[in-house]
């Protein structure tokens, strides 16, 4: 059976050239190893996702020369599966309701206001208080990592595509939110459910997402899902070393297309080994001058 990898963009804006780079790496890997590329649109956050960006990303990836399996998965259509996974975790007794707001957490984490790890405020609440507050206040569901460790052991491990193993301490992981107050689900839960549903063997994505592997492995273990291999590639960066952002219109794939950049040439420049180029004015000039 062929390997399966996925590209999983969120339609929160037009794809930028760094997203394009990631998609091309997925495709290149599949071509090299006889794999199949699937597309998953991660559109659960309805406060940030827009249908026009969904349509645009399909068009932009097609322009860039991406070929994926015909059936495209959309997370917004899969809420029932995430609920079922949440129910399973609830039965396992590893979740707790969290009533904290972002604002209260930032205030509690003086002096810089950046919340690094959840301080565990709602982890210790008595059952009666939980029940009472659940009836009157909005709440999120968090994963209790200590209880998770009791069930799956204190370490998780995973393999990268080059066969190197890595491990992490389960107890050291943050009690992440698995169901947000507003949308009833959250990124990590949806990703592990969908990676399993799509039969993903190899997850290829930017290195900014590498820290999410330990918690995703914890969830896979708890839910009895198989573990993909991982490859977190370097990010494409601008001339100042900053990562690219969708809000910067000049680096979107459609703006490059509008300026007359040829997709094939763009792909060739991005995929030059061993590392991506700096995305600066010189690269763009080179592409525009043919
Ligand atoms: N949807 C995420 C993003 O656009 C990618 C998640 C993943 O690859 O696991 O950054």
What is the distance in A from the centroid of ligand 1 to the CA of 7? Answer: 8
State which CATH number among 3.90.800.10, 1.10.10.10, 3.30.499.10, 1.10.3720.10 fits the domain covering 80-187.
Answer: 3.90.800.10
Q: How confident is the model at residue 111 (pLDDT cuts 50, 70, 90)?
A: low
Please tell us whether the domain made up of 4-75+198-288 is placed in CATH 2.60.40.10: no
Q: What is the pLDDT of residues 257-283, one digit of tens each?
A: 999 999 999 999 999 878 888 999 899
Ligand 1 is surrounded, with C-beta below 6 A, by 8-10, 42, 191, 205, 209
pTM assigned to the model: 0.95
Mean of all residue pLDDT scores within the chain: 94
What is the distance in A from the centroid of ligand 1 to the CA of 8? Answer: 5
- What percent of the chain clears pLDDT 90, i.e. is strictly above it? 85
pLDDT, residue 115, reads 62
- 193-197, long-range: CB < 8 A, 24+ apart: 193/78, 193/81, 193/82, 193/85, 193/223, 193/225, 194/8, 194/40, 194/73, 194/75, 194/78, 194/81, 195/6, 195/225, 195/228, 196/220, 196/223, 196/225, 196/226, 197/73, 197/78, 197/81
Whether the pLDDT of residue 106 is over 90: the answer is no
User: What is the domain partition of the chain in residue ranges?
Assistant: 4-75+198-288, 80-187
Q: Report which ligand 1 atom has the smallest distance to the Cα of 9.
A: 4
Q: Which of 187, 195, 228 to mutate to test the pocket of ligand 1 (most atoms within 8 A of CB)?
A: 187
Q: Report which ligand 1 atom has the smallest distance to the Cα of 206.
A: 8
pLDDT, residue 247, reads 79
Q: Report which ligand 1 atom has the smallest distance to the Cα of 191.
A: 9
Q: How confident is the model at residue 112 (pLDDT cuts 50, 70, 90)?
A: low
Q: Report which ligand 1 atom has the smallest distance to the Cα of 203.
A: 8
């Amino acid at each position: 059976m062929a390997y399966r990898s996925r590209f999983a963009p969120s339609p929160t804006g037009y794809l930028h050239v760094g997203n394009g780079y990631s998609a091309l790496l997925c495709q290149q890997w599949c071509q090299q190893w006889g794999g199949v590329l699937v597309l998953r649109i991660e559109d659960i956050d309805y406060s940030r996702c827009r249908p026009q960006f969904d349509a645009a990303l399909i068009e932009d990836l097609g322009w860039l020369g991406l070929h994926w399996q015909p059936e495209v998965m959309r997370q917004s259509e899969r809420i029932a599966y995430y609920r079922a996974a949440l129910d399973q975790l609830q039965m396992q007794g590893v979740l707790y309701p969290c009533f904290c707001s972002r604002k209260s957490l930032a205030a509690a984490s003086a002096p810089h206001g950046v919340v690094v790890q959840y301080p565990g405020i709602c982890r210790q609440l008595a059952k009666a208080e939980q029940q009472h507050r659940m009836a009157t206040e909005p709440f999120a569901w968090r994963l209790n990592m200590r209880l998770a460790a009791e069930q799956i052991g204190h370490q998780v491990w995973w393999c990268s595509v080059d066969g190197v193993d890595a491990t992490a301490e389960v107890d050291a992981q943050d009690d992440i939110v698995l169901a947000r107050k507003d949308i009833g689900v959250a990124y990590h839960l949806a990703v592990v459910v969908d990676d399993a549903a799509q039969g993903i063997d190899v997850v290829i994505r930017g290195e900014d997402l590498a820290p999410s592997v330990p918690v995703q492995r914890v969830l896979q273990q708890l839910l009895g899902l198989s573990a993909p291999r991982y490859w977190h590639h370097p990010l494409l960066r601008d001339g100042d070393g900053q990562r690219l952002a969708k809000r910067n219109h000049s680096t979107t794939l459609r703006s490059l297309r509008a300026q007359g950049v040829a997709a094939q040439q763009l792909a060739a420049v991005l995929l030059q080994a061993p590392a991506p180029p700096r995305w600066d004015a010189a690269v763009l000039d080179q592409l525009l001058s043919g």
